[in-house]
Amino acid sequence: MNTHIDTGAGRVVAHPESGPVTGLRGTDRLLRFAGIRYGTAERFARPVPAARHTLPVDATRPGPICPQLPSRLEPVYGPHRNEPPQSEDCLYLAITTADLTGSRPVMVWVHGGGYLTGGGTLPMYDGGRLAADGDVVVVSINYRLGALGFLAHEGVSEGNLGLYDQILALEWVHDNITAFGGDPASITVFGQSAGASSAMALLSVPRARKLIRRVIAQSAPSLARLPTRDEAFAAGPYFAEAAGGDLMTLPVRRILDAQARTEQWNADTPARPGTVSFRPALMEPLPDTETRERTFRSEPVPDLVIGYTSDEGGAFVVGAASPVPREAVATMSRKTFVEPAHEAGRQVLDAGGAAFLYEFGWAPAEGGFGAVHGIEVPFLLGTREAWADSPVLGSTDWATVEANGRGLRRSWGHFARYGTPGTAEVEWPQWNGDEMSVQQINW
């Protein structure tokens, strides 16, 4: 049902299949539904769809984000401003749209944060500027993080629960987005860092893949290597011992403390794969590597934009106890971000699809840390207030961020609509495996 009601005072009611929700019309004339429940979940259980309702539900306030510890990259981006409350009951999404009628491409944002921090309903991911400049409907999702989302432990949690949350959110969008002026047949999943890796992982899940038309992966780390089932379950006993109690009833604080201790154990154990204990692994709903590759070759390949910043690794050494050699940072950036992006592009080419690669090289003229991991995000998403005084932007004024980012937002929206990020203003070649076809983004 597509009808809507303007209740006055900026309040608008949309009528998706899941039940009516109340949002707000902002001073920019965009409609925002800041907190719509898409599912519920018991601790360490798979999510289930939210119950349908008949009376309007208030979606004017951001939904809670998953409980989490401070981000290790807070010195780079700054603290979250106006952060929503934290709660295990966090399966909410936010929608920004120009109108409740029409059929615009839909862009579903999966936030990063190493599967440990962040939230789609944070103001830093507000979709207003992208919705306006890209002429798209922007959806940002929350999902469970850390041990609550990715613990694998016999008799407690099967693992990959955060990925199940993402799949359920994607299904909600497909079934309900028409009521917000979106086209359910034109869904682009985009994300940064862990969110970009999630977007790529979703292509390996038949439930999700059939709903995805296009993907944008911004700085996806080490796409080719996910833990096996045995590797994922190896951290479970250590986590349970660190928690020291009934995992189903422990206070969230104890869960987070045990999570932090497990992360340190993981970092101190050379044989442990990857950099975090809690992340997607090669078990349900993900197939094993061989099956994933065979599926990728045999099915229609979604269009792909994938890229990285010029100095990815620089973000991870800010505030380091001792100086890290530039050569080591450059090697980390190449191995963790650049080479995996090129490999993903090659897989798309080999499968007969279209890939577009980019390198984001802009850096602030004064201050900041260079073109580090995540520096492109404020050019796409978020409010001025959310990014105010963010260290990563240095002394750059918001007017510059706004003006420079407009072309990037239009490219993202153009890709969502047409399958190419090239626009009338920006030429963008399709990647052909050659370095010269990597689009350079700088101003």
Indicate which residues carry an active-site annotation. Answer: 193, 312, 373
Cα torsion 215, 216, 219, 222 to 10°: value is 10
C-alpha count within 13 angstroms, C-beta hemisphere, residue 164: 21
Length, in residues, of the chain = 443
State the pairing for strand pair 152-153/104-110.
unpaired
How far apart CA 333 and CA 330 sit, in angstroms, is 5
β partners of residue 4:
14
Tokens of 276: 């975090």
How far apart CA 405 and CA 419 sit, in angstroms, is 20
Q: Are 123 and 25 in contact (CB under 8 A)?
A: no
- Residue 313's SS3 state is helix
How far apart CA 147 and CA 161 sit, in angstroms, is 10
Q: Tell me which H or E stretch contains 240.
A: helix 229-243
Amino acid letter, residue 313 = G
How far apart CA 266 and CA 273 sit, in angstroms, is 8
Burial class of residue 154, CB neighbours in 10 A (0-12, 13-18, 19+): exposed
